[in-house]
């Protein structure tokens, strides 16, 4: 009986492994025709023409990297500030409220962010923020062009909100896990409160980098919110106001409508690349967090 | 320099203090900014979603294009069915695997399983959808509720596995020893003592996983697809609330857009309710934080 029980549970554990293997296998098998036909050109070509059966994923790679980059640029300073606030500064009640808000942000479904970005944020960007950026910073190519409201900037902002919880909660845990003696020693040596917190931040730096990388992993794969606010055109534009597309958004938009084998294979190859990309990014992030905390379960588990 | 005087020139000290205070003030400011998006999202969901948030929305079918009114009854039931299928697959497998990891998981294979669960947790949901498309939709040659359920099951699995392992590990050793000392074989000690002791924590993990899956759209787009009609057939395309919201939000009809907001509000309430239940159970769970 013992052996049977153990066997049943063990087979469930095996199942978990099989599922992961099946995902890799399925993506690789589905992508094979595109892999064979285009090889490395797939990543350097900007043509995406299902009728002519020409497929190049560069615009989508670009869109994914740029939108995630904007998200990090916005979310990292805000997230670190909030984490320091929560770990070191906040009065108990205020801290609880902010922590609760951050928790809620993490639980909001992607589609809800999308609908908000589409109906609320986009008009604000179109009528206010983008024209203003254009008139003050318009000498930079980044802020030139027609303010669509829908586009890279919108996607970046929505993604920033979505990855904030990852950065805030992990960084907060890391700061709390740093030995108090660092803070006390620094204060005893006559540093101001801010300088002492700076010392703590320095000590937690590798872990914080890991948290940021994990947040990046989340941004790279995010689909629905981005699909709704990025505009979905396969152009590469220097302007942040311009619409674009990401790897995940093109899959969401086209997979059900892809009739030719090559079109479908190309989309699945994008999924495969996205999988590989997030796998690597998440592995690096998790390693850094685990290493920085010496494998402490609660923090490492949250990663 | 007399002993009472600070060793630094007064001006520099002021500068240091000012810089430090600015930095700390900025931390307060960023915490304030972080609250803004949530407040705005909740506000807009209420303002735009509440007008159509009535019995019609929950009990009526979608009207044909051009006719105003109607509701999302089929999508709500569809979400329940698809999420139910997902839970039916993911809960036994996930809990079983988690218990195995906690009770027997010492060797290299256990390390691999732990690692794959972590990897699975990081796989973008759209990739899971693509895989479920290849695994279920293509062989069945049609979009179906089952395919959607499989996709959601894969998404729920890692959360359940790792959380179950964690709470089972928190059950005190003495419980197992007491059960064994009373003559229970190992499997009964686990099944009848350890798992019940960890039950609250396991339920928490399951609810969390289900809540997350209920809000997922991307994996359903090309598995369960969508359906404007009433359907409970598991081998047919099935409507779901998130996909309906997505379609209605993009449609050029104001009435549909309004219903999309109502759908989004519903989704948010469900998620909040589930996490509310979660917070209650966490307090009772062993080792709940």
- The Cα A223–Cα A227 span in angstroms is 6
pLDDT at B288 (0 to 100): 40
* CA geometry: angle A175, A179, A182, nearest 5 deg: 95
pLDDT at B17 (0 to 100): 86
Question: Quick one: B236 and B112 in the same domain?
Answer: yes
Q: Which residues of B touch A119 (CB under 8 A)?
A: 44, 48, 249, 257, 261
Query: In this complex, which of A12, A268, A279 lies closest to B130 when CB atoms are compared?
Result: A268
Residue pairs spanning A and B at CB distance below 8 A? 260
Query: In this complex, which of B97, B123, B260 lies closest to A12 when CB atoms are compared?
Result: B97
Confidence of residue B270 (pLDDT cuts 50, 70, 90): confident
Q: Which residue of A has its CA nearest to B133?
A: A26
User: Per residue in B272-281, pLDDT tens?
Assistant: 778 766 766 6
pLDDT at B273 (0 to 100): 75
Confidence of residue A133 (pLDDT cuts 50, 70, 90): very high
The domain limits of chain A are: 2-302
Residue A107, number of CB atoms within 10 A of its CB: 17
- The Cα A152–Cα A230 span in angstroms is 6
State CA B82 to chain mean position distance: 14
Q: Between chains, do A274 and B124 touch, taking CB under 8 Å as contact?
A: yes
Residue A108 has pLDDT above 60, yes or no: yes
Tokens 């999508």 appear where?
A: B75
- Which range marks the domain in which residue B48 is found? 12-52
According to CATH, the superfamily of the domain at A2-302 is: MetI-like (1.10.3720.10)
pLDDT at B1 (0 to 100): 41
Residue B133 has pLDDT above 50, yes or no: yes
Q: Which two tokens stand for residue A135?
A: 């008139």
Residue B83 has pLDDT above 90, yes or no: yes
Residue at B165 is within a domain: yes
Between the CA of residue A140 and those of A66, A96, A134, what are the distances in Å? 16, 41, 9
Residue B8 has pLDDT above 80, yes or no: no
pLDDT at A295 (0 to 100): 64
Total-model pTM = 0.92
- The Cα B187–Cα B193 span in angstroms is 10
Q: What is the mean pLDDT of chain A?
A: 92
Q: Which residues of A touch B41 (CB under 8 A)?
A: 108, 112-113, 116
Question: Quick one: B74 and B114 in the same domain?
Answer: yes
Residue B99, number of CB atoms within 10 A of its CB: 26
Residue B284 has pLDDT above 60, yes or no: no
Residue at B130 is within a domain: yes
- The Cα A170–Cα A207 span in angstroms is 9
Split into its structural domains, chain B has a count of 2
* Domain at B203, CATH number: 1.10.3720.10
Residue at B6 is within a domain: no
pLDDT at A300 (0 to 100): 53
Q: Between chains, do A223 and B125 touch, taking CB under 8 Å as contact?
A: yes
pLDDT at B113 (0 to 100): 95
Between the CA of residue B286 and those of B160, B200, B201, what are the distances in Å? 16, 8, 7
Host H or E run for residue B246: helix B241-250
User: Per residue in B178-222, pLDDT tens?
Assistant: 999 999 999 999 999 999 999 988 998 898 899 989 999 999 999
Between the CA of residue B59 and those of A148, B230, B233, B251, what are the distances in Å? 38, 12, 19, 22
- The Cα A216–Cα A246 span in angstroms is 14
Instruction: Please name the residues between 29 and 48 in chain A that touch chain B, using a CB distance below 8 Å.
Output: 29-30
Residue at B3 is within a domain: no
Contacts of B56 (CB under 8 A, 6+ apart): B69, B70, B71
User: Per residue in B28-78, pLDDT tens?
Assistant: 999 999 999 999 999 999 999 999 899 989 999 998 887 888 889 999 999
Confidence of residue B286 (pLDDT cuts 50, 70, 90): very low
Q: Between chains, do A115 and B101 touch, taking CB under 8 Å as contact?
A: no
Q: Which residues of B touch A23 (CB under 8 A)?
A: 120, 123, 127-128, 131, 154
Residue B145 has pLDDT above 70, yes or no: yes
Q: Between chains, do B92 and A298 touch, taking CB under 8 Å as contact?
A: no
Question: Quick one: B19 and B103 in the same domain?
Answer: no
A85–B contact, CB cutoff 8 A: yes
User: Per residue in A221-261, pLDDT tens?
Assistant: 999 999 999 999 988 999 999 999 999 999 999 998 888 99
Average pLDDT, stretch B142-149? 95
ipTM: 0.92
Residue at B202 is within a domain: yes
B37–A contact, CB cutoff 8 A: yes
pLDDT above 70 covers a percentage of chain A that reads 97
Confidence of residue A296 (pLDDT cuts 50, 70, 90): low
Kindly report the nearest CA distance between residue B266 and chain A, in angstroms: 10
Confidence of residue B9 (pLDDT cuts 50, 70, 90): low
Residue A268 has pLDDT above 60, yes or no: yes
pLDDT at B289 (0 to 100): 38
User: Per residue in A179-215, pLDDT tens?
Assistant: 889 999 999 998 888 999 999 999 999 999 999 999 9
SS3 content of chain B, % helix, strand, coil (to 5): 75, 0, 25
């Amino acid at each position: 009986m013992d052996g049977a029980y153990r066997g049943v549970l063990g087979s469930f554990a095996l199942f978990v492994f099989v599922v992961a293997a099946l995902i890799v296998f399925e993506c690789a098998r589905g992508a094979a025709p595109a892999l064979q036909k285009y090889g490395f050109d797939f990543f350097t070509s900007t043509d995406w023409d299902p009728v002519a059966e020409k497929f190049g994923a560069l615009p989508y790679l670009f869109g994914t990297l740029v939108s995630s980059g904007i998200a990090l640029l916005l979310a990292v300073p805000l997230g670190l500030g909030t984490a320091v606030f929560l770990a070191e500064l906040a009065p108990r009640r205020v801290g609880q409220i902010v922590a609760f808000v951050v928790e809620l942000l993490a639980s909001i479904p992607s589609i809800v962010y999308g609908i908000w970005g589409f109906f609320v944020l986009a008009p604000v960007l179109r009528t206010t923020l983008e024209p203003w950026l254009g008139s003050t910073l318009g000498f930079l190519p980044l802020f030139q062009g027609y303010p669509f409201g829908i586009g890279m900037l919108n996607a970046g902002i929505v993604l920033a909100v979505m990855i904030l919880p990852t950065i805030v909660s992990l960084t907060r845990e890391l700061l709390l896990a740093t030995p108090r003696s660092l803070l006390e020693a620094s204060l005893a040596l006559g540093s101001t409160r801010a300088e002492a917190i700076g010392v703590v931040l320095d000590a937690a730096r590798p872990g914080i980098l890991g948290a940021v990388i994990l947040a990046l992993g989340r941004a790279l794969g995010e689909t629905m919110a981005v699909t709704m606010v990025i505009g979905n055109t396969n152009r590469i534009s220097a302007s942040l106001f311009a619409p674009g597309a990401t790897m995940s958004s093109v899959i969401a938009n086209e997979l059900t409508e892809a009739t030719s084998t090559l079109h479908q294979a190309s989309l699945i190859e994008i999924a495969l690349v996205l999988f590989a990309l997030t796998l690597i990014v998440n592995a690096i992030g998790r390693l850094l967090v685990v290493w920085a905390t010496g494998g402490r379960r609660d923090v490492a588990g949250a990663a | 320099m007399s002993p009472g005087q600070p060793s630094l020139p007064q001006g520099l000290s002021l500068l240091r203090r000012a810089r430090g205070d600015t930095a700390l003030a900025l931390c307060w400011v960023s915490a304030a900014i972080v609250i803004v998006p949530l407040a705005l999202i909740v506000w807009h969901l209420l303002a735009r979603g509440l007008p159509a948030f009535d019995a019609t929305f929950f009990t009526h079918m979608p009207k044909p294009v051009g006719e105003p009114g109607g509701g999302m009854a089929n999508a709500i039931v569809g979400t329940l069915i698809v999420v139910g299928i997902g839970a039916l697959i993911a809960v036994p497998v996930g809990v079983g695997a988690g218990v195995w990891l906690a009770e027997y998981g010492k060797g290299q294979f256990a390390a691999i399983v732990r690692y794959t669960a972590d990897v699975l947790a990081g796989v973008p949901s759209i990739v899971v959808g693509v895989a479920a498309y290849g695994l279920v939709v293509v062989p069945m040659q049609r979009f179906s509720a089952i395919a959607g359920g499989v996709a959601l099951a894969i998404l729920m699995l890692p959360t359940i596995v790792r959380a179950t392992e964690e709470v089972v590990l928190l059950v005190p050793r003495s419980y197992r020893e007491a059960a064994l000392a009373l003559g229970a074989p190992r499997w009964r000690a686990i099944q009848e003592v350890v798992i019940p002791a960890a039950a609250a924590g396991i339920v928490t993990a399951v609810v969390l996983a289900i809540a997350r899956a209920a809000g997922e759209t991307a994996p359903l787009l090309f598995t369960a697809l969508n359906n404007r009609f009433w359907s409970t057939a598991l081998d047919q395309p099935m409507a779901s609330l998130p996909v309906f919201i997505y379609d209605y939000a993009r449609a050029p009809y104001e009435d549909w857009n309004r219903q999309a907001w109502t759908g989004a509000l519903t989704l948010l309430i469900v998620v909040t309710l589930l996490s509310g239940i979660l917070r209650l159970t966490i307090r009772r769970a062993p080792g709940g934080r």
